[in-house]
Amino acid sequence: MTMLDTDYKKHADQFTAVVRGQHHNPFSILGLHQAGNARIVRTFQPHASKVDLVDGNGELLANMDRIDPGGLFAAVMPPRKRRYLLQITDVSGDVYTIEDCYRLPSTLGDFDLYLLGEGSDKKIYEKLGAQLRTVDGIDGVRFAVWAPNASRVSVVGDFNRWDGRCHVMRLHPANGLWEIFVPHIGSGAKYKFEITDQQRHLLPVKTDPFARYHEPPPGNASIVFESRFEWSDNDWMSRRTSTPDLGTPISIYEVHLGSWRRKADEHNRYLSYRELAEELVEYVRDMGFTHIELLPVSEHPFDGSWGYQPIGMFAPTQRFGNPDDFRFLIDRCHAAGIGVIVDWVPAHFPRDEHGLARFDGTALYEHEDPRKGEHADWGTLIFNFGRREVVNYLIGSALYWVDEFHIDAIRVDAVASMLYLDYSREDGEWVANEFGGNENLEAVEFLRNLNAELHLHGATSFAEESTAWPGVSRPVDAGGLGFTYKWNMGWMNDTLVYMGENPVHRKFHHDKMTFGLVYAFTENFVLPLSHDEVVHGKSSLIGRMPGDDWQRFANLRAYYGTMYAHPGKKLLFMGSELAQRDEWNHDRSLDWHLLDHEPHRGVQTLLRDLNRVYRETPALYEVDFSGDGFEWINFDDRDNSVFSWIRRDRHGGFVVSVTNLTPVTRPNHRLGVPEGGNYVEIINTDAGRYGGSGVVNGELNAEASESHGRPFSILPTLPPLATILLKKAG
């Protein structure tokens, strides 16, 4: 009996398991192993007709015997030889030479495994997923994935004919990580993970949770990607700090990249990231916005989710180009002085079988209990924030966008759904926390850690949070959630309801416009007129305004004027500056042809001017989050539907804002002002250049006549359905 016969008899069951793809640890069988006084090389090559051992010069070391008809080969390694290659003749007769991945050691060190097991690796994206590496002088890709409850995990791809038996991965049992280094492949290789569950049932093939690039549907493969991009935004990045300056102007243009503008004459195709870097960036710069906010660009399977059901938390969507094309877009934004915010979705994920759902056959990223793990409203699954590996995955994703793509801020979607265990649930459909309450304590801890890390990395954070949860934008060490800013959903809802009222009835709803200023300084608020307000039957913003066409445009212009004068940072969804008449449709471009018509062009001109005046006037942004920057002139002029206030900066400068929300011109409307001198209009939304009636004020002299508790007063004419902003001349 030969050495190979003896070896086969000893390991026959394990060899069969390898051939059937049922062996959970092929590193114990394949590669070079000691067998008594000899060394035996075993390899599984199911698509080979012949395999030989050769040295680095191509000299034959040994012919390998086929010891199993399924494709298992073995040979005795010659004495004193340490290195070998596999020379394979495939079934078509082609001959090629490869390194044996099963002779190579693990590429995850003990410290890596410790941090990953602890859930504290801030650069987890450099450990898991597909990483280009050189091991023992060999170029290739290290694949690693977390699947602690799997009985086998294989990487499959175009490099192994998608055969899950060929590259079964090495298990690190202490933390459930599977890993393998595959030589000779590089950037562009397509791959997925083939997983069998604890009962050895084959699961749907999975996309890599850490993939940096994805194949479009229906393939949905992950793609190995090596960035070759050279950034040119060093000056911009050097100005980022861990302590954000809340006294800066922030005017955000919210954008869905797939529908901002399309190429109608080219089958209605998307603009690419690089085309957007020219057209979108120049438009936003010209309009004077300080930031672009991108609806989620993480890879997602369904266009109709707008990106809010992501499948690739580390991958910019392939719809517009590759990850370096996305880097180019961000780089051009920074060159134009525009900050970039991305919507990011850690609240939930879709059930698509190639994604995270029951990743290793168990509820790995989600909760097993549907009372904790399912969003019935959205048909999605909820991340398990109590699991350190899941938290590490999510925080790693956020930091990846900040560090690798130079994103300036993260806007976290659906925060309320994370904070409350009973969110959108009836009695009996949710599980209380350990203290019997409805607060998701694990999600709270996650958000605090997330925000602390984002700030340390020089980024800011925005919360889309619609409840009265206290301290959303207060520091963690003061008991808050640690967000930099919070969307003011109450302001948005109340003021839009008010603006939808016929002016004759507005005096009965006056508090809708004033109530937001009761709580305006409890958080660091952003005033959002977002995408959610122009879909699902809500109508466009212009469509919500009452009256004839002239009045609708006047109402909208007045509303924008008072928004820019109101405490809080600003956000406007794309198309709102065009007074788009139709609801937003993610499948087509904005209605740019509307700019051929003067009323629409006038609204765009107004927004351009509002952004310019806003940036040039510290009183409109420096003291947004303190009562020191705001005082009412008259909050109770409900019979006239007039609202008047003063905004102040840090150095004594101020602006007077007056809004008349009836279609009646009000001449000589006395307003108390804090100082004497001459006042001039810096914005009048009724100006002819905006499509208004042209009721404007020249220079106004403040009389030494007391009004509204102030020693001086002015007598401006209030245009119909308009906002005016005044400041002292000189």
pLDDT in tens, 140-163: 999 999 999 999 999 999 999 999
pLDDT at 649: 97
Q: What is the pLDDT of residue 8?
A: 73
DSSP characters over 248-315 = S--EEEEE-TTTSSEEGGGTTEEPPHHHHHHHHHHHHHHHT-SEEEESP-EE-S-GGGTTSS-SEEEE
CATH number for the domain that contains residue 656:
2.60.40.1180
Q: According to the model, what pLDDT value does residue 470 have?
A: 95
**Sheet with 138-146, edge to edge strand ranges:** 129-135, 138-146, 177-183, 170-172
pLDDT digits (tens, 9 = 90+) for 446-466: 999 999 999 999 999 999 999
242 is a domain residue: no
The whole-number pLDDT of residue 201 equals 95
84 and 144 in a single domain? The answer is no
**Collapsing DSSP states into helix, strand and coil, what is residue 345?**
coil
Candidates 194, 196, 170; CA nearest to 182 is 170
Q: Would you say residue 254 lies in a domain?
A: yes
Same domain, 274 and 186: no
Judge if 697 and 584 occupy the same domain: yes
Residue 3 pLDDT class (50, 70, 90 cuts): confident
The token pair that represents 501 in the structure block: 């009222």
Pair (94, 116) in one structural domain? no
Query: Given the structure tokens 């700030």, which residue do they identify?
Result: 455
Instruction: Label residues 200-210 b or e (16+ Cβ within 10 Å = b).
Output: eeebebbbbbb
At 79 the pLDDT is: 87
CA separation for the pair 69, 110 (Å, rounded): 38
235 falls within a domain = no
| Domain boundary pick from 170, 188, 223 | 223
User: Does the pLDDT at position 80 exceed 90?
Assistant: no
Partners of 427 in the beta sheet? none
Q: How far is CA 418 from CA 53, 346, 354, in A?
A: 57, 9, 24
CATH number of residue 22's parent domain: 2.60.40.10
User: Of how many residues is the chain composed?
Assistant: 730
The pLDDT of 36-52, averaged and rounded, is 92
Beta bridge partners of 139: 134
- B/e letters for 348-365, b = 16+ CB within 10 Å, e = fewer, are bbbebebbbbbbbbebbb
Mean pLDDT of 401-409: 98
Q: Who wins on pLDDT, 541 or 109?
A: 541
Helices of type H across 343-458: 370-373, 388-405, 415-419, 441-456
Residue where a domain stops, chosen among 68, 100, 132: 100
Residue 516 has pLDDT above 70, yes or no: yes
What's the N-to-C CA distance of the chain in angstroms? Answer: 105
Look at residue 13 and tell me if it is in a domain. Answer: yes
Q: How far is CA 723 from CA 556, 610, 684, in A?
A: 10, 11, 6
The verdict on residue 508 lying in a domain is: no
Q: Are residues 167 and 308 in the same domain?
A: no
Whether residue 660 sits in one domain with residue 565 = yes
pLDDT at residue number 114: 87
The string of DSSP codes covering 602-617 is HHHHHHHHHHHHHHH-
Res 694 pLDDT > 90: yes
Q: Flag whether pLDDT at 273 surpasses 70.
A: yes
pLDDT tens column, 701-724: 999 999 999 999 999 999 999 999
What average pLDDT does this structure show over 96-106? Answer: 93
700: pLDDT strictly greater than 90:
yes
Q: Do 74 and 142 belong together in one domain?
A: no
**CA gap 226, 212 in Å, rounded:** 9
Domain that holds residue 174: 110-223
Residue 239 lies in a domain: no
Distance CA 638, CA 325 (A): 53
| Same domain membership, residue 114 and residue 95 | no
Domain assignment present for residue 378? The answer is: yes
In this structure, are 172 and 114 located in the same domain?
yes
* pLDDT value at residue 38: 86
Q: Are residues 282 and 217 part of one domain?
A: no
Query: Residue 366 and residue 384: Cα distance in Å, rounded?
Result: 5
Q: How many CB atoms lie within 10 A of CB 650?
A: 12
**Do 650 and 247 touch, CB atoms closer than 8 A?**
yes
| Structural domains counted in the chain | 4
Rounded to the nearest integer, the mean pLDDT of the chain is 95
pLDDT of 163 reads 95
Please state, in angstroms and rounded to a whole number, the distance separating the CA atoms of residues 123 and 396.
6
- Domain at 426, CATH number: 3.20.20.80
Together in a domain, 294 and 387: yes
Domain match, 132 and 11 both: no
Q: Considering the domain boundaries, does residue 660 fall inside one?
A: yes
Residue 76's pLDDT is 92
Q: Which two tokens stand for residue 148?
A: 């602690």
Q: Is the pLDDT of residue 1 over 70?
A: no
- Which residues have a Cβ under 8 Å from the Cβ of 249 and sit 6 or more positions away? 290, 569, 614, 615, 620, 621
pLDDT for the residue 7: 74
Active site residues: 413, 464
pLDDT per position as a tens digit, 300-349: 998 999 989 999 999 999 999 999 999 999 999 999 999 999 999 999 99
pLDDT of residue 5: 72
Question: Which of these three, 207, 223, 239, is where a domain ends?
Answer: 223
Cα angle 696-600-698, degrees, rounded to a multiple of 5:
10
**Helices (runs of H) and strands (runs of E) counted in the chain:** 14, 38
